[in-house]
A and B are shown apart, each in its own frame.
Chain A
Amino acid sequence: MKAYDQLIFEICKEGRTAYSLPNCDLCNGEMSEFIPNAFLRVHEVELPEVSEVDVIRHYTNLSNLNYGVDTGFYPLGSCTMKYNPKINEDVASIKGLTDIHPYQPEETVQGALEMMYNLGNMLSEISGMDKTTLQPAAGAHGELTGLMIIKAYHESRGDVKRKKIIVPDSAHGTNPATAAVAGFEIVEIQSDKNGAVDIDALKAVLNDEIAGLMLTNPSTLGLFEKNIKWIADLVHEAGGLLYYDGANMNAIMGKVRPGDMGFDVMHYNLHKTFSTPHGGGGPGSGPIGVKEHLVKFLPVPVIDKKEDQYLLNYDRPDTIGKIKGFYGNYGIMLRAYAYILTMGSEGIKEVSEIAVLNANYMMNKLKEHYYLPINQVCKHEFVLGGVGGVLLEVSTLDVAKRLLDYGYHPPTIYFPLIVNEALMIEPTETESLETIDGFIETMIKIAKEAKEDPQILKSAPHNTPVKRIDEARAARNLIVKWEK
C-alpha cells in the first residue's frame, strides 16, 4: 500500500464542498440586518475545502497509520486494553437512547435514568461500596471528585487541620497531581523492597493532619497489598480516609472488593475494566463509589428512584456541588452497562481469573530472559526491569521500539518509577494462549537480539510508517498547527 503523508489542508481546492444542509426555506436577510457589523468577522475561517470522497479517503488512510486493539495484541500495563465488544457499540447507538437532550423533562428520559441507576448499583455490587456517582469523565476526574469528598467530610466534622494526602512513590502520576488540584499537600512514602506499602513509613507520617491515603490494589507492580486491612485500620485510627484507585480492578472482580478491604471512596475506569473503547485518548468515564458516611457529599445530581420513577435529585445540602456539565459520559455508561449484562455474575469473575492467569503465565515464561525485580505471584499485570544483566547499552525503550517491528503494541515503559527500566505488561483476559505465546516468543527473541545484535534494537523500529521521532525538536521548535 502506498505511504500516506498528507494533511487535510494539503488536499484542498477552492470551491470544493462535502456538506449538505437542509433545504433553505428561511434564508432571508443579510447578517448585518440582525447583528451589528462590529461583531461580524470579515474573513472566512480558514477551514478545508474538500469533497466527500476526499474526506473519506483521507481519514481512512490516516486510520491505517494507527494500531488499535482490533489490530493486535496491546499489553499496555495499567491500561487494560481488552477487546471492545461490537454489540456494545450497536446498542449504544440506538436512537432512542442517544438522541436525547440533557434538559428534557424527566418523564421523557426514564430509560436513560433507569440505565444509570442500575449501572450505579451494579458497580457498587462489584466493589462493595454503598453508592455510586457516574458524573466524572475519566479516572483522574474521579480521583479529583473523590478527594473533594474526603475534604468535605473532614470539614463537615470541623476537622479542618487535615490538609495532607499520603501517596506511595509507586502511585500513578495522576494521584499526586489530583491531590494538588484538590488543594492538598502531598506526603510521599517509599515502598518497601517488595513494592508494598512500608508500614513503618506509613506510621511515621500518620497524624491529625492527614486527610487520607490514596492506594492502588493490586499495586502498580501488579502485586496484591496483603496488609491492606492493617493499613486501613492504621489510617482510620489516625482519623484519615482511604481512597482506592480503581485502575487495577480487572484483577479482583468477584474475588475481593475494595469496600471489604476498608476503602471509603474509589473510582472505576469504565474504559479499562468495563471494556469501553479508549478512542485514542478518550472519552473515558470514571464513576466513583463511596461508603455510607460519604454518600451525602456526592456531586449533584444524584439519580434516585421514587416509587417507579427515576429522578435527578439536586436537593442535597451537603453535596460538594457539580464537577462536570450535565450528568457524565452517558454514551460510555451505556457500553459498560451492556458489557456487565453480557458477562453476568460468572463472566465478570472469570474476567479477573483469566486476566490473572494470563499475567502469571507470561511472567513465569519471561522471568528467565528479563529481570524480574519481585518474584511472587502477580495479579493482572507484572513489571520487568529491562533486559538486565551486563547489557546496559540496550534500554527498555529499545525493547519497546523493537516490539513495533514484530507487530505488537509495547507494554507501558518506565512506569512505575520505583523500578529501573520498567516494562509493565498487562495481557488482559481477552487474549488467547496462541497470542500470548507469540508475544512471549518475540520477547525472548528480542532479549537474544539484545545480546547478539544490540544495534538492531537501538535503531528500531524499522518497518513502521515513521521511525524514531526527534522529540526534543518538537518541544524546542513548537509547531502545533498547520500553516501555508
Chain B
Amino acid sequence: MHRYIPNTEVDKKLMLDSMGAKSIEDLFEDVPKELRLNRALNLGTALSETDLTKHMHALANKNKSMNEGVSFLGAGAYDHYIPAIIKHIASRSEFFTAYTPYQPEISQGTLRVIFEYQTMISNLTGMDVANASMYDGPTACVEAGMMACANTRRKSVVVSKTVHPEVRKVMHTYMKFRDIEVIEVDMADGVTDIEKLKSVVEKNTAGVIVQNPNFFGIIEDLTEVEKITHENKGMLITYVDPISLGILKAPGELGADIVVGEGQSLGNGLNFGGPYLGFMATKSKLARKMPGRIVGQSVDVDRKRAFVLTLQAREQHIRRFKATSNICSNQGLNALMATIYLTTMGKKGLKEVAQRCVQKSHYACNEITKSGKFKPLFNQPFFKEFVVTSDMDSENVNKNLLKNGIFGGYELGKDYPELENGIMFAVTEKRTKNEIDKLSSVLEVI
C-alpha cells in the first residue's frame, strides 16, 4: 500500500462488496481484452523519500547552478533579487493546492490576489485592464498579435527584428497555422529601422510589435512607430521588461494598444526557463477582446464586496470554437509571486531596482570597453543589457569566463549571423562592483 493511497485491504473489500464486484479487475471489464496492457509498466520500483532526495541531489550535482558563479546572462530571463517572503507566502497550500477560482465563495483569496495583480500590471503599463496572466512572454505576445488580427479583421502582423528571437519564433509557428502573415522589419544601429517599417505597414497590418527595451537592451524611441501604426489603423503592441517600467515611461503614455511581456523578473526564479508568466494589458474598449481569465469586482447578496471571474463569455468553455483563444489556465502561482514582489518592492523599491540596473550596467559597459579590446556594438541608450564585440569568437570568450567562475553573456551570432562576435551582457542590481571588475579583468586577459 502506498502512503498517498489510503484504502486498506479491508476498505477495498468493503467497497467492492457494496457494489457486488469481486475484484478491481471487474471495474475494468469495459476495456476490451485485446487492448489491455498485459505486463507491468517499466518505471522501476517506488523510491522512498530518502532515496528520491538522494537521486534529485545527484541530478543537481550534474548542473552548475548560478550560485556556483557570477552571472551576466540575461536575454529574457534575469537574475534579479527575490525577496525571501515570496516563497513563504507562495508555499501556503491554501494558494498552491487550489484550482482555478470557479467557486468564488471559497476562492476569495485567489481572486483578490489576481485583482491586485491586475491593478499593479495596469498601473505599471499605464493601461486600463490586465488579464490574470498567460503562459509566458512569447505566448502572451502571440496572443496579442492574434487579438489585433481579430479586432482589426486583418491578417498580417509586423514584427521588428529587435524583438526577442524566441518571441519571433513562437510567433511564426502560431501564425503559420492561422494563415496570418508575419513580416519582420530590419534594424539599424540596434533599433527598428523606421524607413523600412514605413515601407511595410499598410492597410492590411493588424498590429506592429516592438520590444522596449528591445532584445539588445536598447530603449527605442517609439514616437514614429506609434505614428506609422496608427496612421494605418493598426494596433501598437509593445513587449516590455516590467522592471524597466520603474523608471521608463509607461507604454500607455507612448500610445500602445496592447502591452505584453515576460513577468519572470517579478520575483520568479530562473528554473531553467519555466514556469514563468506572461502579462497582458490593454485599453478598456478592448477588454472583451482580451484572452485569458479576468477577475472583476462585484457584491454578494448581502451587498458585501466580492470578487469573481468575469467576462467569461469570451472563453473557450462557453464560446468553444468561437473563443478568442483556447487558453484555459493562467499562471496563478507565478502571478501570486509577481504580486508579492511588486507589493514588497513597492513604489520606491521598483524604481531603485531599475536605477541600479542602469547604473551598474553602464559602469560595466565602460569598464569592459575601456581598453578598446571590446567595443560597444551600438551607440544607443540602454537599460540593463548591452552588446559588445571583439575580434574573438564569442563562444571562446564565454568558455574562458566560465573557467573563471563567470557565466558570460548571450552569444548573438546564434540569432543574428551578422553580429557574429557580439556578446550581450546583463547586469542586474544583484551584481557588485567586485563582480563587474572581475568580469572586465578576465575579459582583458583572454
A55, B2: Cβ atoms closer than 8 Å: no
B152 in contact (CB, < 8 A): no
A62, B108: Cβ atoms closer than 8 Å: yes
Q: Kindly provide the distance from the CB of B220 to the nearest chain A CB, expressed in whole angstroms.
A: 9
From known contacts A68-B94, A255-B28, A356-B27, infer whether A173 and B173 are also in contact, taking CB-CB under 8 Å.
no
Q: Report which of B73, B96, B317 forms a contact with A277, defined as CB distance below 8 A.
A: B96
A481, B118: Cβ atoms closer than 8 Å: yes
A176 in contact (CB, < 8 A): yes
B22 in contact (CB, < 8 A): no
B166 in contact (CB, < 8 A): yes
B443 in contact (CB, < 8 A): no
B30, A105: Cβ atoms closer than 8 Å: no
Which residues 45-96 of A have a CB within 8 angstroms of B? 45-50, 52, 55-56, 58-60, 62-71, 74, 76, 79, 81-85, 87, 89-91, 93-96
Binary contact track B92-114/A, C-beta < 8 Å → 1, others 0: 11111111111111111110110
Chain B residue with the shortest CB-CB distance to A72: B106
Binary contact track A316-341/B, C-beta < 8 Å → 1, others 0: 00001111111111111010001011
B45, A183: Cβ atoms closer than 8 Å: no
Which residues 290-342 of B have a CB within 8 angstroms of A? 293-302, 304-308, 310-313, 315-323, 325-334, 336, 340, 342
A162 in contact (CB, < 8 A): no
A248 in contact (CB, < 8 A): no
A131 in contact (CB, < 8 A): no
B116, A9: Cβ atoms closer than 8 Å: yes
A27, B19: Cβ atoms closer than 8 Å: no
B97, A19: Cβ atoms closer than 8 Å: no
From known contacts A9-B119, A110-B62, A111-B59, infer whether A46 and B19 are also in contact, taking CB-CB under 8 Å.
no
A126, B317: Cβ atoms closer than 8 Å: no
From known contacts A17-B348, A66-B98, A353-B24, infer whether A283 and B60 are also in contact, taking CB-CB under 8 Å.
no
Which residues 136-188 of B have a CB within 8 angstroms of A? 136-139, 146, 166-167, 169-170, 172-174, 176-179
Which residues 224-279 of A have a CB within 8 angstroms of B? 224, 226, 228-229, 252-257, 260-261, 275, 277-279
From known contacts A377-B27, A481-B115, infer whether A96 and B344 are also in contact, taking CB-CB under 8 Å.
no
Provide the bound-state CA to CA distance between A95 and B69, in Å. Answer: 13
Interface size class of chain B, counting residues whose CB lies under 8 Å from the partner chain? 35 or more
B189 in contact (CB, < 8 A): no
Interface size class of chain A, counting residues whose CB lies under 8 Å from the partner chain? 35 or more
From known contacts A330-B274, A346-B40, A356-B28, infer whether A22 and B345 are also in contact, taking CB-CB under 8 Å.
no
Q: Report which of B31, B42, B102, B273 forms a contact with A325, defined as CB distance below 8 A.
A: B273
Binary contact track A451-484/B, C-beta < 8 Å → 1, others 0: 0000000010100111111110111001111100
From known contacts A176-B320, A433-B11, A481-B119, infer whether A45 and B245 are also in contact, taking CB-CB under 8 Å.
yes
Provide the bound-state CA to CA distance between A474 and B178, in Å. Answer: 33
21 contacts between A and B (CB under 8 A): A18-B85, A21-B349, A22-B429, A68-B94, A83-B4, A96-B60, A97-B59, A98-B271, A98-B272, A103-B77, A114-B62, A144-B326, A275-B4, A278-B98, A280-B110, A321-B176, A326-B272, A342-B46, A357-B12, A409-B106, A480-B115
With A47-B124, A56-B89, A283-B333 known, 20 other A-B pairs at CB within 8 A are A21-B81, A45-B123, A67-B103, A70-B94, A99-B66, A137-B329, A173-B319, A174-B326, A279-B95, A280-B110, A282-B333, A282-B334, A324-B135, A326-B273, A330-B273, A344-B44, A345-B44, A353-B24, A357-B27, A470-B298
Q: Which 6 A-B pairs give the minimum distances between C-beta atoms? A: A326-B273, A96-B60, A279-B333, A344-B46, A111-B62, A102-B273
